[in-house]
Structure 1
Amino acid sequence: MILPLLLLLQSDKLPPANPLPYTDPDASAVMAPVNRILAAVGTRDGAAITAETRPEGGATVVVERADGGRTIRHLSWAEFAGGIKPGAEKLAERMPDPAIEVDGDIAMVWGPYVFTVDGKADHCGVNHFDLIREQGRWKVLNVTWSQRSTGCEAR
């Protein structure tokens, strides 16, 4: 028992994450509110976004500019949902291969994404959702993502 702990302390790496694809039965339940939020961004439905979230959480974005500068911005869920405005462009966000970790009533979803406008890559990065399960239902507490406009490929 003590040997694995000592080996872990000697390593500069975390223990391995679950293999992909993750086959835990909770994985699809965890992804359900994440997928509904991504779909709601595409349909520009702020109310559908807040329906999947805990009000005390929020959204944080780290925008990486082409010149190397970075901007960090945090929004409450109400601010984030309120920023979703009607428009003629077709929006879509794809997160094709998320890593999912579940421990009891907490979960994490992490993975690369590409955000498209009218089918063209607009920006990309990595999404990190943290979720909690309450009364049998998963809710998103926070989402944090990186956002860049270079090196984005349609996925």
Structure 2
Amino acid sequence: MFHTRLVFALIVGSATAVTAQTPASETAAVQKTIQAFFDGMRRADSAAVRRTLAPGAVFHTLSSRNGQTVLRPESPTEFVKAVGSPHKEVWDERITFDKVLIDANLASVWTPYEFYLGSTFSHCGYNCFQLVKLTDGWKIAHIIDTRRKEKCK
């Protein structure tokens, strides 16, 4: 009886240790996908940005118009096309990872950001990413963000 309890405790303990290691590697993989999205954007590499997106990805932005909150859909296809189109200034979205939550094949990531056109500040806000883990890794399924010019941090 004691031997059975000891073996059970060792199995449960080792399963907990394995589970504790998984989130760090998964968190890093999720962050790597988001970083690849922005690295591609900075390089004006539409193919690199496209590789980070899940099929059917959805983009939204929240803004304020006449004191009212407006939810606006944005086309991922048009965004990817714009990234690869010639533009004078580098599109530089500077993020920090605030929260990364993962359950199985779903991740939710919260990132404050500041957006620059070249070295000129444009706007700031927060991004909320929803990622899914597909056979070829973590992909961005949904991005929603806020945009403003003041009260950035």
Please give the TM-score of this superposition, normalised by the length of structure 1. Answer: 0.74
- Find the counterpart in structure 1 of residue 81 from structure 2: 82
- Find the counterpart in structure 1 of residue 147 from structure 2: 147
What is the deviation of 1:74? 1.1
Matched, 1:91 2:91: yes
Uncovered stretches (5+) of structure 1, i.e. residues with no partner: 1-22
- Rounded Cα–Cα distance in structure 2 between residues aligned with 1:123 and 1:69: 19
Matched, 1:29 2:29: yes
Q: What code does the residue aligned with 1:142 have?
A: H
- Rounded Cα–Cα distance in structure 1 between residues aligned with 2:121 and 2:152: 6
Q: CA RMSD in A?
A: 1.9
Uncovered stretches (5+) of structure 2, i.e. residues with no partner: 1-22
Larger radius of gyration between Structure 1 and Structure 2: 2
- Rounded Cα–Cα distance in structure 2 between residues aligned with 1:90 and 1:80: 15
- Find the counterpart in structure 2 of residue 18 from structure 1: none
Higher helix share: 2
Q: What code does the residue aligned with 2:73 have?
A: H
- Rounded Cα–Cα distance in structure 1 between residues aligned with 2:63 and 2:123: 10
What is the deviation of 1:82? 1.9
- Find the counterpart in structure 2 of residue 4 from structure 1: none
Identity rate, percent: 25
Q: What code does the residue aligned with 2:93 have?
A: E
Q: What code does the residue aligned with 1:91 have?
A: W
Can you list the C-alpha shifts for 1:32-66, whole angstroms capped at 9, x where unaligned?
Answer: 1111111122222222211111121221111235x
* Residue 128 to residue 25, structure 1, CA distance change in 2 (3 Å): same
Please give the TM-score of this superposition, normalised by the length of structure 2. Answer: 0.75
Contact 1:62 1:145 in 2 (8 A): yes
What is the deviation of 1:151? 2.5
What is the deviation of 1:130? 0.5
- Find the counterpart in structure 2 of residue 123 from structure 1: 123
- Rounded Cα–Cα distance in structure 1 between residues aligned with 2:53 and 2:45: 14
Q: How many aligned residue pairs are there?
A: 130
- Rounded Cα–Cα distance in structure 2 between residues aligned with 1:143 and 1:98: 15
